[in-house]
Structure 1
Amino acid sequence: MSNSTDFHPDYFLLMGIPGLEDSHLLISIPFSIMYVLSLLGNSALVLVISANESLHQPMYIFLMMLATSDVLLSSTTVPKTLSIFWFANHQISFIGCLTEVFFVHFFFCTESAILLSMAYDRYCAICHPLTYTTTLTNSFIQKTAMVALFRSIFVITPFAFLLHRLPFQRSNVIGHTYCEHMSVARLATSNIMVNVVYGLVIAACSTGVDLVLIIISYAAIIMAVLRLPSSEARLKAFNTCVCHTCVIVLFYIPAFFSFIAHRVGHRHISQQFHIIFANLYVLVPPMMNPIIYGIKTREIRQRALAMLCRGTPNVFGGKCF
């Protein structure tokens, strides 16, 4: 199983959800439904925004970036998970596992930065509307995207190297549906304190800071909204904030629970519950984001309906409803 020079196994075995092997096929049904809805919803969102010049505004561009990141995040893990459930395809190469570790954390970190950018966009739109167009220019958006990508590469790449340096001489069986940094590190036969500490530092200094800044932004937004003289304006602003708040809650809570459970509560939380919850942050936010924004954002809803109606014959007087 192991190479004699570097003590790395040729492959790992992903066991899916240990203890629930008989239910894998049943569990795959909601997993596959959520994944398909995620692909369809986010692809539709990208298509609608990219095809309509009227939606080429900062808020919608950030939303298109979020949809792209959602598709890539879920596609990093779900196809392999479903192959385990459907075909008992448990094997993944050592390099393939490290690659999956990198991209899972890379897209999570990138999506966190995008959510922060969206919060800043709403802060500028509501708290500083007069300078909004001069602040959130195309150049600013491009620089924001580049910073998000380079930050993710810079902070996530060490995860792969930290795992590569470890010897795996005892077991190559991972009790999970996909390769996660700590689920792989715990198989090592040497001290993994560096992995634990680095993971905590990165979580605190990247996604943790993002979440704190998002909370500060929305606190300022709420204070500004409460000062608006018109009840209609307050309601419109709050509706916008509700969309973003739902997305943020769906994204961060499952991810941080999984992160903390791996490092603190892995002895007190059942493995089955932990693994199912760990899959939620790669399945539920990508599925729900298009639904939340599609239903709550009138402009996107109208453009989507217009694209569906365009060129479609209608028996009710030639009008599309």
Structure 2
Amino acid sequence: NAKPFVTHHNALDVDRYLRIAPELYLKRLIVGGMEAVFEINRNFRNEGIDATHNPEFTSIEFYWAYKTYIELMEVTEELFDYLFDNLGLERTLPYGDMEINFATPFAKVPWVDAIVNIGGVPREVAQDRDAGLAYLKERNLKTDENWTLGYVQAELFDEFVEGKLINPTFITDYPVDISPLARRNDENPEVTERFELFMAGKEIANGFSELNDPLDQYGRFKGQVDAKEATGDDEAMHMDTDFVRALSYGMTPTAGEGIGIDRLVMMLTNQHTIRDVLLFPAMRPEAVQEMPKVSATDVCKKCGHDVMEELKPAKKGKGYFCLDVAACKARASERT
């Protein structure tokens, strides 16, 4: 989820949104009969700028019919093996004062187990909404009384787990309420068939078995709309009736994944801010300096020139003369 940039299309008189991801469009291609699609793409998110976030960034997304999130994790490991073999990189690379071991297979840890075993949060706290909120409040961390258990767990994960994931690690089994496009797990319908890949304390990839039930998808979108209204969450998804309609025509069982290319390049090149791997990163505008105001008397006594930076005070008495004597003479002769 992310907040989009909003603009207005004058000819059609409708609001338009720069895409935060190509996901829904690529999945419509799967609905249309394509069995495997990918796109290396530019995405735009109207969010903060920091070491790992830039409003415009590059990723690769791919969707594969008749595959599951388990198979996508295997494909991701194969992709890393291919990159390291063809780039001639050692499997252990420095990243600041850390070392990242990229040897496959990567570790796989379920969501709640990560919060408990890596984050050190008691299991009874991690699995109970009210206990989780109290745990966060005791530590003066961000809370919201409208949060569901999934959102409470997400805050616990962000605070106590993410920064500790140094070597590549798949976190799996995300809650339904924070995974609006992912398929429910058949054995435990409260969680989804979703994973995220972390390394050096940063998320690199997000993938899941796709939700292809139009009624369930409509309900998930409705939940996101309700969350937006209840909490003012700008990152909650809007109701996409076109996508729900596409699902109603039928989408084969599919799995999809997105990998952040810029962040991956950061890992491989030991760079610690995303702007160091972008040619044109978003930067804060420089403060505009006001030019000194020139009064009626702040002009050259010889030629009347009035650009303050090109004048110098007279040695005796009041007044100014030009720094460029030759230009001053030329202007003075023009006046006569």
TM-score, normalised via structure 1 length: 0.24
- Structure number with greater CO (CA < 8 Å, separation at least 6) is 1
TM-score, with length taken from structure 2: 0.23
Q: Which has the higher helix share?
A: 1
Larger radius of gyration: 2
